[in-house]
Each structure stands twice: as structure tokens, then as C-alpha cells.
Amino acid sequence: MSLLGIEDLGRPEIEAILTRAKDFQASTVKYDTLKNRLLVNLFFENSTRTRASFEIAAKRLGADTISITASASSTSKGESLVDTLNTLGAMRPHAIVMRHAASGAPHFLARYLPTPIINAGDGTHEHPTQALLDARTILDNRPSLEGLRVAIIGDIAHSRVARSNVHLLSKFGAHVVLCGPATLLPEQLAQLAPNVTLTYNIREAIQDADVIMMLRVQLERQHETPFPPGDYFKFYGLRLEHLPHAKPNVIVMHPGPINRGREISSEVADSNRSVILNQVENGIAVRMAVLERVMGASQQ
């Protein structure tokens, strides 16, 4: 069973993963649940957190892992994606974690290969394990997602993190406010899911927010002239002066990597409202829950 996106995942499956992840939180215990199982990490785009946490998660569950980066693999020698994946498939992994710059690449391969595929980010489309670890982090700070006001601010157009979060939060009855400059916030995103509204004004987005989720400006996906960095911070950078407009116990999130002074000030990133490092920690717990589900004994 692959994990390709949040859009097609039901509430019970999401709840099961989030509940199981809780068992793995704040622990470095090693299990042998996935002993003799092989996980291939295949990253065609840069990654620090996602890749390391999948690897740590697999090792904590006793699996063997190998990590392959595109620049060091045969795709740089002209091999097609399908041939690379078939080659890896012939090594009989029990799952492949894959990140790719093309939206839909993991869905395409999941149709070709018998091996379960876990999407670790496909272009501007989805990043399901990020939304799951974000939900885990919110639920560590709030009793439920229902009725929460979540402001997602930044380069929404190019963000797979925003899309996966919108799907998840909407399924659980949170109200999502998407905010960014008009060039990075296409109007049709309001139709992505129920309970989504748009604003181009950061103050409006933050008003009474339970959660503020900041996003990096994804220059690698922008083919037009980017918003000038100085102006961007002035209009869309999160600073301490913004926080009093949110709920007093607001939490500030960011999937990383953060660009201090660009989308978030250091004072906010390092403040006691920030849960950015909790997100990183939850990344391991959530990915353990996902790997157990995808590669565990009941799956073979």
C-alpha cells in the first residue's frame, strides 16, 4: 500500500497514523518490527530533514536502508525514471521513499511498480508525511483540529506542504487561511478544499490564529521574476509585532529550511511560540508510523 498524498487518504487512516506516532514520540528505542526489510530512499531533489528522518525512522524499526541521490545516480547518465525504478525494484526493496521535482512522478511509478511508494514531496503537488507531522505537532498543542484557525503564509503557489496541509486540515474541520502576494497565491486555491479562504494581507491572516505556518519562498520553482526579498519580508515576513494579533497561545510552524530575515525573523523562529524543532522531532515518529504501516508484516 503506497502513500502518495493526503487528498485520497481517509480520516481513519490519518487518525491511525497520528495515534501510532504518539507511541514513538520522545523515544530512541530500537524495534525489530521491520527486521530483514529493505527501504530505498530515492531523492531527486535536495533534502535534509525529510531524508534524514526517513532513514532514522527505518533504522529505529530495524529495517535496512539505502539512500540514493539523483546527482550520484544513473539518471545523470541519461537513464529514464522508469528504468531507474525498475532497476531498484529488481533489488527487491519493501518500499521506496521518493522525492521528485515533477508533480505526479510517484503516482506514475506506483502504477508501474509492485513496490509500495511513499511520496516525500512531488513538485508543487503533495508532501503527505509533512502534513502528518504537522498535524501531530498541532495536536500536541491543541485537543483537536476541529474549528482551529490555521494561517498558512508565503509562497502558496509552489508549496506541496501547503497543499497537503490544506487537505488534511480541511478533512478535520479546521479553517485554513492562505496568505501571500497575489503572484504566489492563485485564486483557484480557495477551491482546493472546504473551509479555505484567501487573503493578501498578513495582519488579516494572523488575526485570532491558533496556528501560523510560514513557508519558504521556493525560488527553485519560480520561473518568473521573484518578489524582491526586502519587500517580501516587509509585507509577508513574520515578526514579533504580529504575534499579539493571534490567539495568546498561538504556535508558529515552518517545515524548514527556514530563511531567517526573509520569511520569518530570528526573534520569532527562536521564540517560545515556535514549534519548528518539535516538527522535526515529530518527523521521525510520524515516519516510523508510516513505515510500519507500509512495510510491516501485515503488508507482505
Residues lying near ligand NCD in the complex (CB under 6 A) are found at 49-50, 121, 127, 130, 160-161, 216, 218, 255-256
Q: Which is nearer to ligand NCD, 46 or 74 (CB)?
A: 46
Q: Report whether 105 contacts 124 (CB < 8 A).
A: no
Cα–Cα distance, 297 to 281 (Å, whole number): 25
CB of 130 vs ligand NCD, minimal distance in Å: 5
CB of 125 vs ligand NCD, minimal distance in Å: 10
Q: Which is nearer to ligand NCD, 37 or 276 (CB)?
A: 276
Residue 208 burial (C-beta neighbours within 10 Å; 0-12, 13-18, 19+):
exposed
Q: Which is nearer to ligand NCD, 94 or 287 (CB)?
A: 287
CB of 253 vs ligand NCD, minimal distance in Å: 11
Cα–Cα distance, 120 to 24 (Å, whole number): 20
Ramachandran bin of 62, using left for φ above 0, alpha for ψ from -120 to 50, beta for the remaining angles:
left
Q: Which is nearer to ligand NCD, 130 or 282 (CB)?
A: 130
274 forms beta bridges with: 252
CB of 258 vs ligand NCD, minimal distance in Å: 9
The CA-atom distances, in angstroms, between 199 and each of 156, 207, 298 are 12, 12, 45
Q: Which is nearer to ligand NCD, 7 or 64 (CB)?
A: 7
CB of 76 vs ligand NCD, minimal distance in Å: 21
Cα–Cα distance, 10 to 168 (Å, whole number): 9
**How far apart, in Å, do the first and last CA atoms of the chain sit?**
10
Q: Which is nearer to ligand NCD, 37 or 41 (CB)?
A: 41
Q: Which residue blocks in 153-246 are alpha helix, DSSP H?
A: 160-171, 202-206, 229-236
Residue whose Cβ sits closest to ligand NCD: 216
CB of 36 vs ligand NCD, minimal distance in Å: 29
CB of 220 vs ligand NCD, minimal distance in Å: 9
Half-sphere exposure of 21 (CA within 13 A, CB side): 26
Q: Which is nearer to ligand NCD, 49 or 239 (CB)?
A: 49
- C-alpha cell read off for 250: 498561538
